[in-house]
Amino acid sequence: MELKRVVVTGLGAITPLGKTVEETWTNMVNGVSGAAPITRFDASKFKTQFACEVKDYDPNEYFDRKEVRKLDMFTQFAMIAADEAIKDSGLDLETLDMDEIGVIWGAGIGGLQTFHDEVAGYIKGEETPRFNPFFIPKMIADIAPGHISMKYGFRGPNFGTVSACASSTNAIGDAFNYIRLGKANVFVTGGSEATIYPSGIGGFNAMQALSTRNDDPSTASRPFDKNRDGFVMGEGGASIILEEYEHAVKRGATIYCEIVGTGMTADAHHLTAPHPEGLGAKRVMANALKDGNIDPTEVDYVNVHGTSTPRGDIAETLAIKEVFGDHSYKLNISSTKSMTGHLLGAAGALESIACIKAIKHGVVPPTINHFEDDPEIDNALNFTFDKAQERSVKVAVSNTFGFGGHNASVVFKAL
């Protein structure tokens, strides 16, 4: 069968760098760090006492009091991002077929805060167990797409994807495939996460995954730097409207770019560590390019997973050199996690937006906080250190890799 073309027609985000896509993008291009001491709880007893929080977030600005009680923060972020993306797309919901609009949303963990609070309350409580009736529907990771569909009346395919830090890239890939197979005309897709909470910080601290640079949070996320010591926790939500090309043209939509390919692989190697030679990362990029009929020499920009972990950054660099060969040195590479922190299940969606905006504006956002070259990394590669760089971006690739060995890549192309 002939596969349908799929384009991007709307963007939305609430992140540590801003409460809209434009605010986030402006700060990203300007190299602003979203890291600061944690304000959501007293983190003084933890090894890591900072994170990339959404600044000055008040749910009452977006939801009424009754809604707030029913929504974990990760779902709140999902609904805020989706609302901006739907508005940005110009979709006329009064005239479109709701059966042809779906929602696929990624979250690596889901309602961690709700789970933490309910269990803590049970332990402190009386002999008779008492749980909030909203406990389960607030906690489950698939509830965010459910709420989005109920708010707008979308009756197309609806589910959540869970693959750790690759979750929202998998969501985008699934939405892309459903549209090109003719299963729906439009998808609201993306991801959200809200794990800056005692159990989230404590759990990742126990794994020694987080930076402990408490004396200087704004420089703690240091992808590819010799002295990187782990990632910085982030939070937020990012949403992308994917639409069948002819459907978008017919309604006169503004099209950002086309999505042309995705790849999904497994490392089959280790619970949390990447394959040391980047074999899973190599295969996932190669598969995504093949799926999109893109030659490696056509790629201008790779937004890397680049978490600022010692082994992960090395493995991904090796994979890029294997896939792109000599063209590796002509690419722009950057890790926007150096600014946003790691949004876990929402990372792929936010970093896809960075790729889409790079195509639209001809600007590659930087990798900030580079102080010293790592001799184990080929520093002849262009990591876009410290400052954004202007260049024509026709094809961009976004990589995300998750605990459990989940790898996902997506390819965007200018029309």
CB burial string 197-224: b at 16+ within 10 A, e below:
bbbbbbebbeeebbbebeeebbbbbbbb
Q: Is 147 a catalytic residue?
A: no
Residue from 305, 355, 370, 406 carrying the catalytic annotation = 305
**Which of these is catalytic: 147, 342, 370, 406?**
342
The residue count of the chain comes to 415
Query: CA triplet 368, 58, 89: central angle to 5 degrees?
Result: 70
In the sheet that holds 395-402, the strands lie side by side as 158-161, 101-106, 186-193, 236-244, 6-14, 257-266, 406-413, 395-402, 301-303, 332-334
Q: Which listed residue (52, 147, 165, 247) is catalytic?
A: 165
The string of DSSP letters for 20-77 reads SHHHHHHHHHTT----EE--SS--TTSS--EEBPPTT--GGGTS-HHHHHH--HHHHH
User: Is the separation of the CB atoms in 201 and 50 below 8 Å?
Assistant: no
* Torsion angles phi and psi, residue 313, rounded to 5: -65, -40
Number of CB atoms found within 10 A of residue 410's CB:
32
Distance CA 339, CA 221 (A): 7
Cα–Cα distance measured from residue 190 to residue 210, given in angstroms and rounded to the nearest whole number? 24
Report whether 187 contacts 179 (CB < 8 A): yes
- The separation between CA 31 and the C-alpha centre of its own chain, rounded to angstroms, equals 18
Q: How far apart are CA 74 and CA 56, in angstroms?
A: 16
305 noted as active-site residue:
yes
Annotation marks residue 247 as catalytic:
no
Show the DSSP H helices in 162-267 as ranges: 167-180, 198-206, 245-250
Residues that are catalytic: 165, 305, 342
